[in-house]
Amino acid sequence: MTSKPHGILLIDKELEWTSHDVVAKLRGILGTKTIGHTGTLDPLASGLLVILVGEYTRLSNYVLAQEKTYETEVTFGRSTTTDDAEGEIVKMVEMPALNEKALKESLELFNGTISQRPPAYSAISVGGEKLYKKARRGEEVDVPLRQVHVSEISLLEMTAETCRLRIRCSKGTYIRSIARDLGEAMGGAAFCSALRRTAVGEFSVSEALKIGSTAEAHRASLLTGLSAKVGLPPIQLQKQEAMDLSHGKKIGCRADVQIKPGELALAFYGDEIWAIVAEHQGEIIVKRGFGKQV
């Protein structure tokens, strides 16, 4: 009998697949129901999906919190209902050919912490219902602004009416909204005409697997132990420390194991994830265990 798989799987999602489609396919390929993705990609977007399998699903919140990197194409002169190529055109504006200097100046408006209005067609809930459901009924919705952080927005290439950008941003940032607002900043209109996620934290799409590979290839590609770089600093436990944490006991902070107050860390025993831990009054305590025993 094949053991149940555990780990992190990097998938390069193709166009037209939903994130749910990928997870459903992988449930069959890997033979497990304990699996989930860490950040939806729309069918019109391709690129990196970080899939958590088995006990690694407990790391979901920490992967979700990491920065994402995208490459996107923005088309100027038109806006759409969805702020991407899937929606109906709602406005057409005569705009001059793109000027590199003016474009780069406008891009600076989106650097750092910004207030952003998510698209009307999005999965955000307002009044207990997803916005896209309200939008499909033709309801006018006052979409609340949200604060997001853009740590990089750079111009990769441009034509007379399109540009390709690289954007590194915080959780919850809508690239479609940046495209729409960039069009307005340039005195016209724009929409996101292509989108690809290239990185999540330290994970890169260059390391990802296509969904059509064999079950053996998927299992062999699972990242486990110290390869599971989820944004938490790793600490290595000694045998007695691992035993104590397994029984809910606190352990002392060794000179070579330091966790800053208020920060979390990923504790390992050997190459196995043992627990998510935190510093508390000079000691290390378990915030979430993985049910391991020495």
Sequence-distant (≥ 6) Cβ neighbours of residue 237 within 8 angstroms: 245, 251, 267, 268, 269, 274
CA atoms within 13 A on the CB side of 37: 22
CA atoms within 13 A on the CB side of 7: 19
Q: In this structure, what are the phi and psi dihedrals at residue 195, rounded to the nearest 5 degrees?
A: -150, 135
Handedness of CA 143, 144, 149, 154 (dihedral sign): positive
The residue from 12, 21, 42, 271 that is catalytic is 42
The question of whether 42 is a catalytic residue gets the answer yes
The rounded distance, in Å, linking the Cα atoms of 198 and 195 is: 10
Sequence-distant (≥ 6) Cβ neighbours of residue 233 within 8 angstroms: 259, 263, 265, 266
Catalytic residues: 42
